[in-house]
Amino acid sequence: MSQVITDLKYAKSHEWARLLPSGLVEIGITDHAQHALGDLVFVDVPEAGRTLEAGAACAVVESVKAASDVYAPIAGTVVECNAELASTPELINQDCYGKGWMIRVKPASASALEGLLSADAYSAVLAAEGG
């Protein structure tokens, strides 16, 4: 069973979002996603300054068996990306909710996170998918 953390928000497409005290939102992929992809070998994250649309592809994660798009769970502007991932993409496999964060985004609106799933709702999605 994949790990789902209670205080995060989730997207159906298997990304998580965490509201930081600074007001920025940290984004990564879920334990289910990293497990399904397998060992990651490359992560392509957007540059700081890029504008993201909710639901649009914003990054690419490549494993030994597949390359997949990561979709922005919320609209906003990229403020920072996790530079560690360029040389150590395996951080996502090891600690997807912590050191494996991908980008920090300034949300386009204060209510940006409201449309996302709670941990329980996301767990239900996983259960329905058989995961």
Partner 1 sequence: MPFIPHTEADVREMLATIGAKSIEELFDEIPQNLRVQGLAGIPEGLSEMEIGRLMSERARQDGRPLSFLGAGAYEHHIPSAVWAITTRGEYYSAYTPYQAEASQGTLQLIHEYQTMISSLTGMEVSNASLYDGGSAVAEAALMAVRAHRKSKSLRVLVPSTVNPNYRRVAVSTAGNQGLRFETVPYQRETGCIDFAALAAFAGQDIAAMVIQQPNFFGQLEDVDALTDWAHEQGMLVIAAVNPTSLALLKPPGEWGTKGADICVGEGQPLGVPLSSGGPYFGFMTTRMEYVRSMPGRIVGRTVDLEGRHGYTLTLQAREQHIRRGKATSNICTNQGLLMTAATIYMSLIGPAGLAQVAETSMARTHQLVTALGRQRGVRQAFTGPRFHESVLLLDRPAEAVLRELESQGILGGVDLSGDYPELGSAILVCATETKTDGDIERYANALGTALQAVRAA
Interface with partner 1 by CB under 8 A: which residues? Answer: 42, 44, 47, 62-63, 65-67, 69
In the β-sheet with 25-29, what is the strand arrangement from edge to edge? 9-10, 15-19, 25-29, 103-107, 76-81, 51-52
CB of 62 vs partner 1, minimal distance in Å:
5
CB of 108 vs partner 1, minimal distance in Å:
18
Would you say 7 or 47 has its CB closer to partner 1?
A: 47
Would you say 39 or 84 has its CB closer to partner 1?
A: 39
Strand pairing class (76-81; 103-107): antiparallel
CB of 6 vs partner 1, minimal distance in Å:
33
Would you say 67 or 127 has its CB closer to partner 1?
A: 67
CB of 63 vs partner 1, minimal distance in Å:
7
Would you say 72 or 116 has its CB closer to partner 1?
A: 72
Query: In 3D, which of 16, 51, 54, 53 has the Cα closest to residue 32?
Result: 16
Amino acid identity of residue 57, one-letter, is A
Sequence-distant (6+) residues with CB within 8 A of 97 are 3, 5, 8, 16, 28, 30, 31
